[in-house]
Structure 1
Amino acid sequence: MNNSMINSSVSMHSLQQKLDILANNIANVNTTGFKKKEASFEDVLTNVQNQPEGFRQQGRFSPLGFNQGWGSRLVQIQSNMAQGAIQPTGNTTDFAIQGEGLFEVSVSTVDENGNQVFQPAWTRNGAFNLSPDGNGNTVLTTKDGHFVNGTDGNPILIPDNYRPVVEQDGTIKAYNEKDPSEAPLNVGQIKLVRVVRPQLLRDMGGNLYALPAGVTNQDGILQNVNGAEGTGTERVSLMQGYLEQSNVNLSDEMTDLVMVQRALQLNSRAITSSDQMMNIANNLRT
């Protein structure tokens, strides 16, 4: 197999992965709180191909060697945490985060012994519901039924016939709808974390993120922002009655899609040309 065929085949594999990422971004252009994925690539190997000494002629300024590449490979896929458009909904259980923050939720799983356990996960999707928890309480949950965690690590309980009002720092006060004169109840605070190193977050699917296996220092990836007054890019706040839309720009994704398709077409033709040249060489008669 010649060099051009190796180069093209390796590059086509990476381009196919890039195509899958673009397809996922386009499919989630209308997903609430979705953060688009971006890919990083690097050269697999580059060496210098030497030319015969006969090329060394007087007055020749170009070097005898030339760089020979062997394709590229996908190095990393990370989420772009840029702010998406925020739209009003008027729903008291819809929340949008301003800044590079995430909601913490509890995802129910089953361990090796068949027992139900809860593990933390994080999301930007603030389309929440008030759902019964089976014990006669009303709790704040995601659309998929995951508990929204408070700063104490427990689900947030909302008394019946009370209307929750959430402040910018996540503090929840419940107002009695039957007796407006009653003083509001402080029922908890929504836990918010700021993303420090988004490239280390693991995509769980369902618009949820988790920490990589074996991570012991969570503070190096996610930082608790409740009770901390941030400024500038570090500020994380909540907006009640709003939802953040996907940060996918469809025109940018379509432009990248065309470029990837053209690169795939170029590499495919390079493989075809290499195969034809090898076929001609095999059929030569002396």
Structure 2
Amino acid sequence: MQSLNISTAAMRGIQQALDTTSNNLANLDTVGYKRRVASFSELLSDSMNEQPASDNVNRNTPAGLRIGSGARLGLTKLDMGQGSMKQTDVPTDVMIEGEGYFLVTRKVKDVGGAIIQEENRLTRDGNFKVQYNNDEGGYVLHTASGYILTDNNGVPFVLPEPVRNIQISQNGELMADGNSYGNIGVWKVDNPDQLQQIGQNLYDAQLASGDNPATKYTNALEDGMATLRQGALETSNVNMMEEMSQLVNVQRAYQLNSRAIGISDQMMGIANSLRSR
């Protein structure tokens, strides 16, 4: 029975690793996507230290016999390696060179249209568009999913009128038509592995409505850990050849454990048939 438990636990973890690899491949062309790497950890194990005296006479193995229970998926670590640069020459495309995330926000409304709260999200996707927003009463820079870019105080950028000649400096200052509208906030997360992915290339910022991100995160631009590049986007850091190799390894491991379950079932069938005689 132990072999069945070990192989079953391994197949469950391998299936999760396969899902992780598939998700990486699916986001091969997603702007700012960071791949995840699956790592396994051992389940509880038992040690048989007290052996009968009759077993110790011709025993060649150590007295302590370690009996494992298999492995499980322990962590899907976020790979924060820098993606390649894609030059677009679009003024509202911004690339982070270094560490950190953009903070974007969106107002959540009830059925009647009243604003309940603000959702704060982190992203590396700098593909922003300018559009008028009724709630903010002006033009904003927003993501494809409708989240608005914020400044270094966590406040959305609001442009009072349609602007041209948008300029974004390396230190994050946003200027349009000769007027300065503040500095873009880029926030460093101390432990990115704890970020929860919520889809649409976004992470939960774990900030309540109205919270200043500086109370929880470090401004990467002010500390010199990152710079911005206007007119460019960061591509995914997924390596297709590496992911395909990982996919083959995962499939082979799944087949091996599936075969082990089949052999264990045959061995138990033989043991039961011998006992019945």
Same fold (TM over 0.5): yes
Give me the whole-angstrom Cα distance separating, in 2, the residues matched to 1:268 and 1:194.
43
The superposition leaves residues 142-185 of structure 1 with CA deviations (integer Å, 9 ceiling, x where unpaired) of 1222111112332213342422100011101112xxxxxxxx11
Secondary structure in 2 aligned to 1:283? helix
1:91 is displaced (CA, Å) by 0.5
- Equivalent position to 2:185, from 191, 199, 206: 191
Residue aligning to 1:142: 143
Give me the whole-angstrom Cα distance separating, in 2, the residues matched to 1:171 and 1:23.
38
Given that 1:164 and 1:172 are in contact with CA atoms closer than 8 Å, whether structure 2 keeps it comes out as: yes
Alignment of 1:1-286 (within 5 A): 2-49=1-48, 53-57=53-57, 62-110=61-109, 115-116=114-115, 117-134=117-134, 137-158=138-159, 159-175=161-177, 184-211=178-205, 222-226=217-221, 228-230=222-224, 235-284=225-274, 285-286=276-277
Given that 1:165 and 1:174 are in contact with CA atoms closer than 8 Å, whether structure 2 keeps it comes out as: yes
Given that 1:43 and 1:73 are in contact with CA atoms closer than 8 Å, whether structure 2 keeps it comes out as: yes
Percentage identity across paired residues of the two chains: 37
The superposition leaves residues 172-220 of structure 1 with CA deviations (integer Å, 9 ceiling, x where unpaired) of 1112xxxxxxxx1112211111121101211111100114599x99769
Q: 1:254 to 1:53 in 2, by over 3 A?
A: farther
Q: 1:52 to 1:114 in 2, by over 3 A?
A: farther
Secondary structure in 1 aligned to 2:10? helix
Worse-matched range after superposition: 136-145 or 82-91: 136-145
Aligned residues: 270
Give me the whole-angstrom Cα distance separating, in 1, the residues matched to 2:137 and 2:213.
34
Worse-matched range after superposition: 192-201 or 158-167: 158-167
Given that 1:97 and 1:237 are in contact with CA atoms closer than 8 Å, whether structure 2 keeps it comes out as: yes
Q: 1:76 to 1:219 in 2, by over 3 A?
A: farther
- Relative to the length of structure 1, the TM-score reads 0.85
1:54 is displaced (CA, Å) by 4.1
Give me the whole-angstrom Cα distance separating, in 2, the residues matched to 1:78 and 1:221.
21
Secondary structure in 2 aligned to 1:261? helix
- Relative to the length of structure 2, the TM-score reads 0.88
Give me the whole-angstrom Cα distance separating, in 1, the residues matched to 2:91 and 2:120.
24
The unaligned stretches of length 5 or more in structure 2 are: none
1:70 is displaced (CA, Å) by 0.6
Letter in 1 for 2:168: V
Give me the whole-angstrom Cα distance separating, in 1, the residues matched to 2:196 and 2:190.
14
Give me the whole-angstrom Cα distance separating, in 2, the residues matched to 1:220 and 1:62.
57
